[in-house]
Structure 1
Amino acid sequence: CNSKGYGIIAMETDKDHIHFLISYDSTDRVCDIVKLIKQQTTHYLWQKYPNFLFKCYWKHKIFWSDGYFACSIGEVSSTTIQKYIENQG
């Protein structure tokens, strides 16, 4: 996120997914942001934990599922969304 100028406002993990509240330029596409996050975190995790991941994943360089869910804040304040994310997991 730092390399592209995105700001991670809040982040929390659950047992099988992760929640992010990210600030980004309105000209960027959400699908491109998700793709970048998935690519860079997959690379980092396989570099850092290859032995563990080889035991859990049958195919190298796989970590994330294909899909994702994204929504804009809309009528809710960013503080409300941030509190929601921080209380996950």
Structure 2
Amino acid sequence: KALLSEEITKKIKQTTEESEQRYDLEMEQLGCDLDHVHLLCSFHPKYSGGQIVRLFKSITARELFKTFPKLKQELWGGEFWSDGYYLATVGERGNWKTVEQYVQSQGKKPEDMQLRLL
């Protein structure tokens, strides 16, 4: 369901920024479309990628329900995030910049994006 309005996206970003120091992670980019989120982050190797995803989902859902109590009524089963996720790793020498640009472009309409010639 398309729930990621501008207001909700802003709260997700704020909550994520507040969690960075506590969990020793750095959200490099966070891009939201209407029904999904893309993250590009760095984190301490003591955490697995799955732990970071679960952490992100639980903290943001809790804060969203606190800030927007009526949101829970709009959701099937009262859960904000679906169970699934896709996780990939990138290195700074590999395709980091490509992934960063992709995440930055999330939520932008095609007419908002400028075409560049190579």
Structure 1 and Structure 2 fold alike (TM over 0.5): yes
Q: Secondary structure at the match of 2:51?
A: helix
Count of residues paired in the alignment: 87
Instruction: Indicate the structure (1 or 2) with the bigger Cα radius of gyration.
Output: 2
Aligned residue number for residue 13 of structure 2:
none
Q: Which has the higher contact order (CA 8 A, sep 6+)?
A: 1
The partner residue of 1:82 within 72, 94, 100 is: 100
Aligned residue number for residue 26 of structure 2:
7
TM-score by length of 2: 0.67
Q: Percent identity?
A: 30
Specify every segment of 5 or more residues in structure 2 that has no aligned partner in the other structure, as ranges.
1-18, 108-118
Give the CA RMSD over aligned residues: 1.6
Paired residues for 1:1-89 under 5 Å = 1-2=19-20, 3-51=22-70, 53-60=71-78, 62-74=79-91, 76-89=94-107
Q: Secondary structure at the match of 1:82?
A: helix
CA contact (8 A) 2:72 2:80 kept: no
